[in-house]
Chains A and B, each alone.
Chain A
Amino acid sequence: MEFLLENILNMIGFAVGLAIGLMSLIGFRNTGSPTLFRLTIAFFAISAGFLIIWVGYLAADFVTKSGDIERWVQTAGIIVQTVGYFFIAFSHSIKAFLPKSSYFRSVGVVPLFLISSVQVEHIFRSISFILLAYGAIETILSYLDTRNRGAISVASGLALLALGEFLGWYSFVFPESILYTTSISIKIAGLVALFIPVSRLPLTRIRIDDGLDGEGDEWEDEEGKEDGAARRKEGKEDGAADTRGQGQTATTMTTAQSPPAPGDGGPERREPKDGR
């Protein structure tokens, strides 16, 4: 039963991570947004992590017939997943700290890691838990800011994944209990919740273009965010209405059409308030 659930979890994890990663990649190639680039890395890493573990289980079942996954394969998969969770948390930390604190800009973001003295796998599970919990909290804060309903589903997804990781980690203490099965079921629910916003995107006409050089930059403007945000919100609503009306989205920009971002713009570059 546990073996079957693990296979289902890893298959869903691989598919959901790949779907969200592809959507982020399409967004990045069309807009050059660095946020979408980080999401692309994050979800491709999560997808790869699940794939590694899934292949490990399949190999254990069909090749070695040992009935149990090799420990190093499971550890490798969890490490790759943790890299993905790190990039989600990193994106949130940039949003939360970068514009406000020069201290965090100078030292970078050093998450508070909980180091366990047991196996590497459990160390990475605990790191994953912290990163996921951080991502969930930041997403909830973002929801309180924007009241965007999609954020609730993502926050729930990250929170469920965090809980699943925690229970999976805790099951180390009670290895034969129901904890591990519960952990897998909760993680499956979390992945489904993460997928909900992607499933709502209109997929017609979305395609990946070749040769885009839309490397994003992140230098920022200190001028009137609130006004801009209000206008963007209006624009977004109009845009959403247009999209619904046509039953498609126009994410088919080509290289030549996509506005290139200046390559010299780093995350710390800013203009003075008067823009000169």
Chain B
Amino acid sequence: MAGYRTRIEIIGDILSTTRDDCQDEQGATVTYLIKKANVSYPRLSEILRMLVKQGLLEVDRTRSSSKYRISENGREFLLAYNTFTEFSNDYGLNM
């Protein structure tokens, strides 16, 4: 049965996508992230704004589109996130 993702899990999915599954070196577009991270546009745009503000994502704006790629801080956060996801899974819990 499908469950629900918490906010932190959605953030983890977005960061994982920008790290492992980017369209090109410049990053991923919003449309691509909506599809890959499976998040609605309003939710995604709010989270992206927050992640850019916190320095976990870098944005490359052109006239036609904005592309998002993971920053060094984002990579570190993702490693921490993966470590503690495993930790909470060990206790039978989700993040």
Contact = CB atoms under 8 A, between A and B. Distances in A.
Contacts of B5: 220-221, 223, 225, 228
Interface in B64-95: 73, 75-95
Given A154-B91, A221-B43, A257-B56, A30 B84 contact: yes
Interface in B26-42: 36-42
B22 interface: no
Interface residues of B, number: 52
Interface stretch (A68-76, A119-127, A238-246): A238-246
Contact of B84 (A88, A138, A251): A251
Contacts of A211: none
Contacts of B37: 228, 231
A232 B12 contact: yes
B60 interface: no
B23 interface: no
Interface stretch (A2-10, A50-58, A144-152, A170-178): A144-152
Contacts of A217: 6-7
Given A150-B86, A259-B77, A275 B42 contact: yes
- Cβ-closest 9 pairs across A and B: A275-B40, A239-B82, A150-B90, A142-B92, A139-B92, A235-B16, A197-B90, A250-B76, A27-B84
Given A151-B89, A226-B2, 7 more contacts: A34-B6, A148-B89, A225-B4, A235-B16, A251-B84, A259-B50, A260-B54
Interface of B: 2-13, 16-17, 19-21, 36-43, 50-51, 54-56, 73, 75-95
26 contacts: A27-B80, A30-B80, A33-B6, A33-B84, A33-B95, A35-B94, A35-B95, A36-B84, A36-B88, A135-B92, A142-B89, A197-B91, A220-B6, A225-B3, A227-B38, A228-B9, A231-B36, A232-B13, A240-B86, A243-B82, A249-B80, A251-B80, A252-B76, A257-B56, A265-B7, A271-B43
